[in-house]
Structure 1
Amino acid sequence: MWHLLALGCIFFPGLFMLSRRYLRRNYPALTDGDIVTISTSIVSSVQAVMAVFSGYIITSSCNHVMKDRHWISKDYVLFGTPYMAYDIYAMYLCYWHKHRAKQENGQHSTSFNIVTGFLKGNILIVLHHLLLLLIFLPITMFYRKGLGDFFLGCLYLTELSTPFVCFAKILSQLGKQNTLLYKVNGLIVMVTFFLCRILVFPYMYWAYGRQYGIAAHRVPFHIPRHCTVAIAILMAPQVYWLTLIIRKAVRCVKSVKSE
């Protein structure tokens, strides 16, 4: 079982290094910062596709939302968990390259300032990753007693928007923010994010209620309180990130109208 954890520790950093090598060799015009950002986006997209595929298999295979089990649910938790630790490092590396570019332009910062700046600017997503590493993993592996694979599959499906978010980063890195492709992709980001990272939570309540003959709005009163608290903790940053996406879309629309 633990060999999957080791495989994940090799796969994600390995894919990142291979992507960097490929881009450096075949696209010499790209800067180191561009290469790191694009490589990070590639790895994130691959992880997201695997998670969504796993989530689809699990949710479509479970007729009973609590009792039915699928082997992929635990296996992908073990394989995908190292991605969270890798991604924190990858995000810091992207941030470091941005400050390196500023230093080359005469804006000097100490290593401590770079680390603290990274944490201040990315504290929410870093905490989100640490929460999944330190709490989600042990609960999923040891404390849920094999129950709720369907809901675990639903959580995997939240990654559907990630490839489009990553594609937007790549287009932005290449200076394609004003293209039609970037705007269409932005619309897809907003729709998929809302469907898979916001509506998925009330959907899980609805699915549980349908299984046990309970109205969806009554489900929070029929399940353990810590489950509702956990869902609220997971959903809160998603709502915040959706507001950022909407604000960015509004700014984009306003800039087009002003032209």
Structure 2
Amino acid sequence: MEAVKTQVAVGAYALVAWFCLYLLIANVLRMWTRTSRLPHAHRAHIAESFVSGVQGVACGVVGVLTVRACWGDVMHDQYPMAVYYSSIGTAYFIYDLWAMYKSSSATEKKPPDCFVQSLVSYLKEDILMIVHHITIVTLLFPAMVYHSPMGHFFIGCFFCTELSTPFVNARVILSRLGQKNSRIYFVNGLLMMTVFAMCRVAMFPVMYAVYLSQQTVAPSHIHALASIPIMCHLSCLLVLAPQIYWLGLMVKGALAVMQCSSLSSAKDD
């Protein structure tokens, strides 16, 4: 019972901290000369992306530390920091639902009192991301941290998926600052796509491969896979599906940019 109270307290403090960080960045952007003249929607997206990047770095670091600490026995090794960060991560995803709404409503050209229209527009525009957040808060974290018989190695692997988040958010920030045609934007895009593919897609088969390599008791890999709770397989599938979709969008975008660059070079020649 004491552990539950501690987790709730950590989550509550973290939720306040995420909101405070967002408001701090929003105020800095409003006062900073370079960003004070940007549209309100741009500043909202930058603030949201900055906080998301901070969360991505923190979660990724905890994930790497957890994987390293639990690599020897993926089914039994525990790492307390992973459990505590699950509360911090849950608080972030709850906060981020609000932050995404703020960015969406700032983009809308409706009067500020049209809450219903803004909410409906937000739900239509970001439904995939909303479902992704709700799934993580209500299914993934509880299933992995509190109900799974497996070790914290797998929690660390899921945390490592956030390592690509800083690059994704840097792309948004650079775009809002008018750096879409800069070299740093292009390099960040390549890094984003590479790290995203490694940490959010390739991570899943690697995670299963490491698990199977240590399951010497089971008569076969099929029996070892069958011993995993169905909730774990479903959680992996629910998280992996949108990652593949987003990676496809990134690849299409990268190909489009490369095609435009080659056409521009051909015209110059």
Q: TM (normalized to structure 1)?
A: 0.91
Structure 2 SS opposite 1:69: coil
Q: How far off is 1:220 after superposition?
A: 3.0
Q: How many residues align?
A: 253
Structure 2 SS opposite 1:228: helix
| Partners of 2:260 and 2:129 in 1: CA distance | 28
| Partners of 1:15 and 1:217 in 2: CA distance | 47
Is the contact between residue 139 and residue 235 of structure 2 (CA under 8 Å) also seen in structure 1? no
Describe how 1:18-57 pairs up with structure 2 within 5 A. Answer: 18-27=24-33, 28-57=36-65
Q: How far off is 1:115 after superposition?
A: 2.0
- Equivalent position amino acid for 1:34 in 2: H
Describe how 1:1-259 pairs up with structure 2 within 5 A. Answer: 1=6, 2-27=8-33, 28-62=36-70, 63-100=72-109, 103=110, 110-145=114-149, 147-213=150-216, 219-259=224-264
- Alpha-carbon deviations, 1:176-234, whole Å to 9, x = none? 11111111111001100000000000011011011114776775334233322221111
Is the contact between residue 206 and residue 216 of structure 1 (CA under 8 Å) also seen in structure 2? no
- Equivalent position amino acid for 1:11 in 2: A
- Equivalent position amino acid for 1:16 in 2: Y
Is the contact between residue 52 and residue 159 of structure 1 (CA under 8 Å) also seen in structure 2? yes
Q: TM (normalized to structure 2)?
A: 0.88
Moved more, 170-179 or 26-35: 26-35
Aligned-residue RMSD, C-alpha: 2.1
Shift of the 161–221 alpha-carbon distance from structure 1 to 2, 3 Å rule, reads: same
Is the contact between residue 14 and residue 92 of structure 2 (CA under 8 Å) also seen in structure 1? yes
| Partners of 1:109 and 1:22 in 2: CA distance | 26
Shift of the 218–245 alpha-carbon distance from structure 1 to 2, 3 Å rule, reads: farther
Q: How far off is 1:61 after superposition?
A: 0.6
| Partners of 1:180 and 1:109 in 2: CA distance | 41
Moved more, 216-225 or 189-198: 216-225
Is the contact between residue 143 and residue 231 of structure 2 (CA under 8 Å) also seen in structure 1? no
Structure 1 SS opposite 2:126: helix
**Consecutive unaligned residues in structure 1, runs of 5 or more:** none
